[in-house]
Amino acid sequence: MEIRVVATIAAKPEFKAQVTEALLEVIEPSRQEVGCLQYELHRDLDKEGAFVFYERWKSEDALNQHNKTEHFQRFAASLEGKLDELTIRRLKTLA
């Protein structure tokens, strides 16, 4: 069953450029994964240094595999200590 992810990320002001670079670098390798249906990064127009990922995965297993990939692990490690906010919501369609 398809699963969706909405991840809200807000960089600490002094790390905005580094966080932005890391976010952009994880997109293409993630889109190449077999279970990835959609992987989009959005910039929050109302909050400087804030971003939202919108992702669609074929299944929860595909999402779990994504979280274990080298590029995602490297991405997650690169954000350590650089964020004011990280909220991850995993969603399934109801109707």
Task: Say how many C-beta atoms besides its own lie within 10 A of residue 95's C-beta.
Answer: 2
- Rounding to the nearest 10 degrees, give the CA dihedral for residues 32, 58, 56, 86: -90
> Looking at domain 3-91, which of 3.40.30.10, 3.40.1360.10, 3.30.70.100, 3.40.50.720 is its CATH number?
3.30.70.100
Position 84 scores a pLDDT of 98
Average pLDDT in the 65-83 region?
97
* C-alpha pair distances (Å), 15 with each of 19, 48, 73: 6, 12, 19
- Confidence (pTM): 0.91
Residue 69 pLDDT: 98
Residue 11, classified by CB atoms within 10 Å of its CB into exposed (0-12), middle (13-18) or buried (19+), is buried
Query: For residue 70, what is the DSSP state?
Result: H
22-72: pLDDT as tens digits:
999 999 999 999 999 999 999 999 999 999 999 999 999 999 999 999 999
